[in-house]
């Protein structure tokens, strides 16, 4: 069963545990500036929104790459960057409509979320379940449950 | 390791920024943040110096766990000599600024001297630069924050800034970071402004990697987070209600200081409580509280994000305040509410916004306004001083006017900016000032919670709840319940809380974790992060060392055992309502016991033996 990262911004407190965990997993150090998941603080609105790659099926980044450095991970469904092949041309960063693939000046390659190979550190670190890793075929389950709860059984 | 082992020294007189290695011997003895920075202050400054002169130094310091994934590991402190108390000042703040400083590669920044004209410091990893800030001077924290973001074109920068109150010499001005987190107490913002330093902009992309034992650190921090999540206070109460969960609780135990501490219960408490913040209001159907927010790495998330009712008199013509921002925490809600007799939650939230916008300590502001209201009531202050405003207990309009005037340093606001002690002396009623060592009380009446009277009177930074929060034991039963009306045994309790808190602060963690964590939960996290063995016993010893070092600094600054006192009101006027009715603070009984527990002389001096046992400087 493939899984997806599922984000519920209403549960996010903006603590950045996800960014720390992501950088620790992928860079070996605590460094939110290198995190593949970012939490946006819309201060005036009082909202925190985590955002990362949705792993599009027809991924723009993958299609745009001139050297085929972005490939599908058959097991997890993630689109992974092959660092050995990536030439750092950044065309993928232009192609991605969501901004979730970015150039890393220290490596000279692009980086994006690879679901940590199937055990995403961000979801593990999130203290409020704002980020979960769930069945990719049922990411709407929580919303369905919420609406189902509003059903009035008496009228059926 | 977990320290970056580097500090940045900024000489504002000469305009130089230099890198220095961190003194690791001191880090072993004082851990970081509060303890380590105070060690530098002791080494490098004369405790008798003018706090607002160029000889005072101001340090922004992180702890070894700041910037890590340890829950609440995002704290930094601002340390200097206080202009409010003339004692050591150490004000702790959360938000994201401290962690960013660490990610830029710095354990601390020492500011010395005084710039000839307004400056701000930008730090981009190794690169630190002083810039002219003439355009920022005279602007609020919120305005300056926006201007700096526009100038640096970096939405991810973290900014700490002082507001107009600090520039105008308000003696309890705060350093505000991330718009609404503050190193709030003792006038550390006033000291920053006295150096002509308006702001610090930091961006760190180096990260923090040198954890001593990464595997043990991952395991201990994860275990620590589980303890916080499962605890009723840190897992449920604080995220849902914030520290405001205390408003009704403290009122019920008869320890909610009311109308300048004349009474110990407030009839309007429910109107300004956490429960009231969650209540939908009539005008737009929305509650005051929008959501809870966390500081860096915090898995508790007690922070309040609030709005003010747009139809409220304070903001109806001011759309700039129709935003979400930092809402009421308990101490602020108490000082601005029960202590002034005001039970209008929108007025309190508005004044809280002003405190963030212009960098004022809401505890000192509220308590000073409360003292001014008592002066007004007795006729020592009249409408001649207040531009015709009836400065009466319970008047939300008067509260808002007073806060606005203080934020800008205008008219009577300049008097209010002196703090309660100087204000009451100026108008001939020093007995109305509810202060210790010149600093205003927080939200627990020492007649109803006996341990807090001793904690206030002996706090090294003047009256303060965050130096020894015995409320945890006396009211909440953490780690074990003691009777709040009983003074027996409180000396040892206060000492234990004071020492533990000094160590928690110095690690870079938030003291709120100690609602759930004991030192046995904290020490393993420090031990995994830092080289060497960091046991519970060593952490407590470090805490005790820090406490005594602060005490010796204060002694050299001219403070004596006579300053370990409480206002006569709390010693002589019995509580007149609630469970504490008839009680006064039994400080005279507790203080000698405390001195003995500390290994101090009968007049409160650190003995040579204690000095030597703890390996104190000098």
Q: Mind listing the pLDDT tens digit for each residue in B410-431?
A: 999 999 999 999 999 999 999 9
A125 contacts in chain B (CB < 8 Å): 69
B246: its two tokens: 């205390």
Q: A143 to chain B, minimum CA–CA distance in Å?
A: 20
- Distance (Å) from the alpha carbon of B292 to chain A's nearest alpha carbon: 6
In chain B, the percentage of residues whose pLDDT exceeds 90 is: 99
CATH architecture of B6-203: 4-Layer Sandwich (3.60)
Q: How many A×B Cβ pairs under 8 Å?
A: 82
For the beta carbon of residue B46, count every other beta carbon within 10 angstroms. 11
Q: Answer yes or no: do A13 and B103 touch at CB < 8 A.
A: no
Taking an 8 Å cut-off on Cβ atoms, the answer to whether B290 and A46 are in contact is yes
Contact in structure between B552 and B611 (CB atoms under 8 Å): yes
Contact yes or no for B324 and A43 at CB 8 A: yes
- Structure confidence at residue B246 (pLDDT): 96
For residue B61, the model assigns a pLDDT of: 98
Spatial separation of the C-alpha atoms in residues B560 and B549, rounded to whole Å: 14
Confidence tier at A69 by pLDDT (50, 70, 90): very high
Cα A150 from Cα B39, distance rounded (Å): 60
Q: Mean pLDDT score of chain B, rounded to an integer?
A: 97
**Residue range B535-562: average pLDDT?**
98
What does the pLDDT average to over B578-583? 94
Distance (Å) from the alpha carbon of A18 to chain B's nearest alpha carbon = 9
Torsion sign (Cα): B171, B175, B180, B185: negative
- Predicted confidence at residue A151, as pLDDT, reads 87
**3-state SS track over B515-550:** HCCCHHHHHHHHHHHCCCCCCHHHHHHHHHHHHHHH
> B104 by DSSP, 3-state: which?
coil
pLDDT (average), residues B566-587: 95
pLDDT greater than 70 at residue B1: no
Residues 6+ apart with CB under 8 A from B357: B140, B141, B142, B163, B407
Nearest CA in chain A to B301: A13
From chain A, pick out residues whose CB is under 8 angstroms from the CB of B212: none
Token duo for residue B416: 């209010």
Q: What is the ipTM of this complex?
A: 0.95
Q: Do A28 and B291 touch (CB under 8 A)?
A: no
CATH number for the domain running over B446-614: 1.10.599.10
B249 to chain A, closest Cα gap in Å: 26
Summarize pLDDT for B52-104 with one digit per residue, the tens. Answer: 999 999 999 999 999 999 999 999 999 999 999 999 999 999 999 999 999 99
Pair type for strands B181-183 and B197-203 = unpaired
pLDDT for B267: 97
Q: Which of B141, B180, B229, B291 to mutate to test the interface with A (most CBs of A within 10 A)?
A: B291
Q: Residue B446 in contact with residue B453, Cβ under 8 Å?
A: yes
Q: Is B483 helix (H, G, I), strand (E, B) or coil?
A: coil
For chain B, the residue count is: 618
- pLDDT tens across A97-113, in order? 999 999 999 899 999 99
Chain A residue whose CA is closest to B103: A31
Chain-chain contact of B69 with A17 (C-beta, under 8 angstroms): yes
Residue of A31, A46, A127 with shortest CB distance to B103: A31
CB-CB neighbors (< 8 A) of B299 in chain A: 15, 17, 127
How many angstroms away from the CA of B217 is the closest CA of chain A?
A: 12
Q: How far is A45 from chain B (nearest CA, A)?
A: 5
- Please judge whether A15 and B294 are an interchain contact, meaning their C-beta atoms are less than 8 angstroms apart: yes
Q: Do A20 and B307 touch (CB under 8 A)?
A: no
Per-residue model confidence as pLDDT tens digits over B24-48 = 999 999 999 999 999 999 999 999 9
Candidates A15, A29, A31; nearest CB to B297: A15
| Digit-coded pLDDT (tens) for B232-263 | 999 999 999 999 999 999 999 999 999 999 99
CA of A13, closest CA in chain B: separation in Å?
A: 5
Q: Nearest Cβ partner of A15 from B204, B298, B305?
A: B298
Residue A156 has pLDDT above 60, yes or no: no
Pick from B209, B298, B324: which is nearest to A29 by CB?
Answer: B209
What dotted CATH number matches B242-252+258-433? 1.10.569.10
Strands A131-135, B6-11: pairing is: unpaired
SS3 sequence of B365-423? HHHHHHHHHHHHHHCCCCCCCCCCCCCCCCCHHHHHHHHHHHHHCCCHHHHHCCCHHHH
Q: Which residues pair with B291 in a beta bridge?
A: B305
B605, pLDDT greater than 90: yes
Per the structure block, which two tokens stand in for B495?
């000492």
A44–B324: do the CB atoms touch at under 8 Å?
yes
Question: Which of the four pLDDT bands, split at 50, 70 and 90, describes residue A1?
Answer: confident
Q: What pLDDT, on the 0 to 100 scale, is given for residue B144?
A: 98
Q: Which two tokens stand for residue B256?
A: 């909610």
Whether the pLDDT of residue A155 is over 80: the answer is no
Q: Which residue among B156, B294, B324 sits closest to A33, beta carbon to beta carbon?
A: B156
- Residues in A touching B71 (Cβ below 8 Å): 127
Q: Three-state DSSP class for B609?
A: helix
Residue spans of the domains in chain B: they are 6-203, 242-252+258-433, 446-614
What is the mean pLDDT of the segment spanning B591-606? 98
Q: Which positions ≥6 away from B158 have C-beta within 8 Å?
A: B95, B96, B97, B100, B101, B177, B178, B201, B202, B203
Q: Å from B325 to nearest chain A CA?
A: 6
- CA–CA dist A147, A140 (Å, integer): 11
B609 burial (CB, 10 Å; 0-12 / 13-18 / 19+) is exposed
Q: How far is CA B73 from CA B33, B60, B93, B97, B509, in A?
A: 12, 16, 11, 12, 5
Q: Which two tokens stand for residue A52?
A: 């990362």
**Taking CB atoms and an 8 Å cutoff, what residues of chain A touch B207?**
23, 27, 29-31, 33-34
Q: Contacts of residue A30 in chain B, CB cutoff 8 Å?
A: 67-69, 103, 207-209
Q: Tell if the CB–CB gap between A127 and B305 is shorter than 8 Å.
A: no
DSSP β-bridge partners for residue B58: B111
Burial B278-304 (b: 16+ CB within 10 A, else e): eeebeeeeeebbbbbbbbbbbbbbbbb
Closest to A15 (Cβ–Cβ): which among B103, B229, B301?
A: B301
Verify whether the Cβ–Cβ distance A15 to B324 is below 8 Å.
Answer: no
Distance from B483 to chain A by nearest Cα, in Å? 35
CA B276, B277, B279, B281 torsion-angle sign: positive
Given an 8 Å threshold on Cβ–Cβ distance, is B296 in contact with A16? yes
Contact assignment for B323 to A33 by CB distance below 8 Å: no
Average pLDDT over residues B118-142: 98
| Chain B residues touching residue A43 (CB < 8 angstroms) | 179, 323-325
d(CA B227, CA B225): 5
Mean pLDDT of A82-102: 98
Average pLDDT, rounded, for chain A: 95
Domains of chain A by range and CATH?
Answer: 1-52+118-147 (3.30.70.20), 55-112 (3.30.70.20)
Residue of B2 and A53 predicted with greater confidence: A53
> Mean per-residue pLDDT for B466-476?
95
Averaged pLDDT, A142-155 = 84
Question: How does pLDDT run across B166-220, given as a tens digit for each residue?
Answer: 999 999 999 999 999 999 999 999 999 999 999 999 999 999 998 999 999 999 9
Contact assignment for A30 to B299 by CB distance below 8 Å: no
Question: What's the pLDDT band for B107 if we cut at 50, 70, 90?
Answer: very high
What is the predicted pLDDT for the residue at B318?
Answer: 98
Q: Which residues contact A136 (CB under 8 A, 6 or more apart)?
A: A1, A2, A3, A4, A77
* Chain A residues inside the 8 Å CB shell of B323: 43-45
Chain A: residues touching B (Cβ < 8 Å): 13-17, 20-21, 23-24, 27-34, 43-48, 125, 127-128
Bridge-based pairing of strands A38-42 and A47-51 is antiparallel
């Amino acid at each position: 069963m493939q899984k997806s990262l599922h984000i519920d911004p209403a549960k996010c407190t903006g603590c950045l545990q996800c960014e720390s965990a992501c950088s620790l997993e992928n860079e070996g150090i605590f460094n939110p500036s290198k995190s593949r998941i970012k939490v946006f603080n819309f201060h005036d609105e009082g909202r925190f929104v985590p955002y990362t790659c949705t792993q599009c099926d027809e991924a723009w980044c993958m299609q745009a790459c001139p050297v085929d450095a972005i490939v599908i991970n058959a097991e997890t469904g993630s689109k992974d960057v092959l660092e050995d092949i990536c030439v750092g041309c950044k065309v993928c960063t232009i192609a991605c409509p969501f901004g979730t693939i970015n150039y890393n000046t220290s490596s000279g390659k692009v980086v994006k979320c690879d679901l940590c190979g199937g055990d995403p550190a961000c979801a593990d670190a999130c203290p409020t379940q704002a980020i979960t890793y769930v069945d990719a075929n049922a990411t709407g389950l929580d919303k369905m449950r919420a609406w189902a709860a509003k059903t009035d059984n008496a009228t059926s | 390791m977990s320290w970056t082992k580097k500090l940045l020294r900024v000489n504002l007189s000469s305009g130089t920024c230099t890198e220095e290695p961190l003194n690791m011997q001191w880090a072993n003895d004082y851990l970081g943040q509060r303890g380590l920075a105070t060690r530098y202050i002791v080494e490098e400054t004369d405790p008798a110096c003018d706090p607002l002169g160029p000889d005072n130094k101001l340090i922004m310091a992180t702890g070894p766990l700041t910037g890590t994934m340890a829950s609440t590991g995002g704290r930094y402190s601002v340390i200097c000599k206080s202009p409010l108390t003339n004692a050591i000042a150490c004000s702790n703040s959360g938000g994201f600024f401290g962690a960013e400083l660490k990610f830029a590669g710095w354990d601390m920044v020492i500011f010395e001297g005084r710039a000839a004209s307004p400056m701000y410091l930008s730090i981009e990893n190794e690169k630190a630069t002083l810039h002219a800030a003439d355009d920022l001077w005279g602007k609020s924290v919120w305005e300056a924050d926006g201007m700096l973001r526009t100038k640096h074109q970096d939405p991810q920068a973290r900014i700490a800034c002082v507001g107009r109150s600090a520039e105008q010499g308000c003696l309890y001005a705060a350093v505000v970071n991330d718009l609404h987190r503050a190193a709030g107490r003792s006038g550390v913002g006033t000291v920053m402004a006295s150096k002509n330093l308006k702001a610090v902009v930091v961006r760190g992309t180096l990260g923090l990697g040198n954890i001593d034992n990464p595997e043990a650190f991952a395991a201990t921090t994860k275990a620590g987070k589980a303890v916080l999540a499962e605890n009723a206070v840190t897992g449920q109460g604080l995220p849902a209600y914030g520290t405001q969960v205390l408003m009704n609780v403290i009122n019920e135990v008869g320890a909610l200081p009311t109308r300048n501490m004349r009474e110990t219960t407030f009839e309007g408490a429910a109107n300004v409580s956490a429960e009231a913040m969650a209540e939908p209001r009539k005008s737009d159907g929305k509650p005051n509280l929008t959501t809870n927010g966390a500081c860096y790495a915090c898995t508790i998330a007690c922070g309040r994000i609030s709005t003010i009712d747009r139809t409220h008199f304070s903001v109806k013509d001011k759309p700039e305040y129709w935003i979400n921002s930092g809402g009421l925490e308990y101490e602020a809600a108490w000082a601005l509410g029960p202590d002034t007799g005001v039970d209008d939650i929108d007025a309190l939230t508005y004044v809280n916004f002003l405190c963030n916008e212009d960098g004022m300590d809401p505890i000192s502001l509220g308590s000073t306004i409360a003292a001014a209201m008592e002066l007004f009531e007795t006729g020592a202050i009249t409408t001649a001083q207040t531009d015709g405003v009836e400065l009466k207990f319970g008047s939300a309009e008067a509260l808002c006017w007073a806060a606005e005037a203080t934020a800008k340093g205008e008219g009577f606001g300049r008097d209010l900016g002196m703090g309660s002690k100087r204000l009451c002396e100026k108008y001939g009623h020093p007995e109305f000032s509810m202060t210790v060592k010149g600093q205003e009380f927080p939200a627990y009446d020492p007649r109803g919670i006996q341990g807090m009277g001793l904690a206030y009177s002996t706090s090294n930074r003047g009256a303060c709840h965050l130096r020894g929060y015995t409320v945890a034991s006396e009211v909440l039963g953490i780690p074990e319940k003691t009777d709040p009306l009983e003074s027996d045994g409180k000396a040892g309790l206060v000492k234990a809380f004071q020492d533990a808190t000094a160590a928690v602060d110095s690690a870079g963690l938030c003291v709120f974790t100690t609602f759930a964590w004991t030192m046995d939960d904290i020490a393993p996290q420090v031990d995994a992060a830092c080289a060497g063995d960091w046991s519970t016993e060593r952490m407590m010893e470090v805490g005790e060392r820090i406490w005594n070092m602060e005490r010796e600094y204060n002694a050299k600054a001219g403070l004596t055992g006579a300053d370990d006192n409480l206002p006569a009101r709390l010693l002589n006027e019995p509580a007149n309502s609630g469970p504490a009715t008839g009680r006064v603070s039994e400080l005279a009984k507790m203080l000698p016991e405390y001195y003995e527990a500390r290994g101090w002389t009968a007049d409160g001096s650190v003995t040579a033996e204690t000095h030597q046992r703890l390996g104190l400087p000098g």
